[in-house]
Amino acid sequence: MSAPLSDLPIRQIPGDYGLPFFGPIRDRLKYYYTQGEVEFFKTRMHKYESTVFRCNMPPGPFMARDPRVVCLLDAVSFQTLFDNSKVEKRDVLDGTFMPSTAFTGGYRACAYLDPSEPNHAVLKGFFLSFLAGKHNIFIPLFRQTISGLFSGLEDEVSSKGSSNFNNLSDSASFEFVFRLLCDKSPSEANIGSKGPKMVDMWLFCQLAPLMTLGLKFVPKFFEDLLIHTFPLPFLLVKSDYNKVYEAFDKSAGPLLDEAERIGLKRDEACHNLVFLAGFNAYGGMKRLFPALIKWVGAGGEDLHRRLADEIRAAVKKGGVTLSALDEMNLTKSVVYEALRIEPPVPYQYAKAKQDFTIHNHESSFLIKKGEMLFGYQPLATKDPKIFENPDEFVADRFVGEGRS
């Protein structure tokens, strides 16, 4: 058990940043190529005997003004990243760098705004109110879309012997999001079935500094120079982005009219709508659904039978409703466990507003105003002091009070 916070010894944050310029490049090469993401963190946790330490985070030179961070890799210190009284979230969505606002029509999308900025509350409140008004169609629309996904899978397996789940899942996810926000199918707009690929490229150009291509025929030094050293220009996706923007602009007229009524600029609201749809919603589903299917599929026949029995029993009482979902304890646990073991959003960043003290299970650490804090969620949610057998997928981990 962790000691009471008042009894934890204060420890200097271990780690170092190395020489300017060369230190960040050293850490970037280790992170992407010689150690890999998880080993990069675990090696330092072992070296410093701490889940809190200093290092540089990619992309580094010449893209990030300051790559230095304090890593928070346990379930206790990780929570600090969401304490708005201590940290700010201004322009830290993607970490130590920020993509050009050209990708969002020249505006800083809501996700880049700190809650203290006036437009954050206006935009967030507007979209939450809109989505709340859609609560009656959310489940029926999702069922309709997901039925098409599984029908497509069955058809491809029947005709080809195999099927690519990710491609069909991406198409279904984009279809669902577009119809939810615009009340029509993307096939009725100017983007047709090309929407997912257009958004994929738009996302890639923004997030390339945070990934590797994994192409064996591309030398590592060339890949590092190409996507980790200089930002990819918006020009590469300008034409496709304009088509996606136009599709939302023409299809979400009533929503944008309401945005203007409450004082938002129409084009700013539309660019934020595209970001909400493409980055937040579709981008999240693009990672979540394949991971969920992977872990459920690997769970075995017994788990599949138990899930089927629970879901059928709950639905039999009155269809697929929020109340029915609430009765599906094993199903909810499986989803929570998939989110725990493979979070769709693995990185969290925040900047300290003031000097304050953070804690992990063993020690206290002093954070200075202006320091960038970084949390790697796949390790924080596998904290062995919180979760038993943290690296294992345990389907019923969250069934029953107090289970972990």
pLDDT score of 1: 47
196: tokens are 């997912």
- Which residues belong to CATH 1.10.630.10 in the chain? 100-107+114-297
Segment 318-351, tens digit of pLDDT:
888 888 999 999 999 999 999 999 999 999 999 9
pLDDT score of 403: 55
Would you report the helix, strand and coil content of the chain in percent, each value rounded to 5?
A: 55, 10, 35
Which residue blocks in 49-164 are alpha helix, DSSP H?
75-78, 118-132, 135-160
Q: What is the CATH number of domain 100-107+114-297?
A: 1.10.630.10
Residue % of the chain over a pLDDT of 90: 91
pLDDT score of 229: 94
Cβ 3 vs Cβ 362: under 8 Å: yes
Give the model's confidence band at 400: pLDDT under 50 very low, under 70 low, under 90 confident, else very high.
confident
C-alpha distance from residue 286 to each of 32, 165, 343 (Å): 22, 11, 12
Which residue blocks in 183-229 are alpha helix, DSSP H?
195-207, 220-227
Phi-psi region of 214 (alpha: psi -120 to 50; beta: other; left: phi over 0): left
Which residue type does 223 have? E
Q: What is the pTM of this model?
A: 0.94
With the C-alpha atoms ordered 9, 347, 356, 84, is the resulting torsion angle positive or negative? negative
Cβ 46 vs Cβ 84: under 8 Å: no
Cα–Cα distance, 341 to 300 (Å, whole number): 17
pLDDT score of 2: 52
Segment 90-121, tens digit of pLDDT:
999 999 999 999 999 999 999 999 999 999 99
Residue % of the chain over a pLDDT of 70: 98
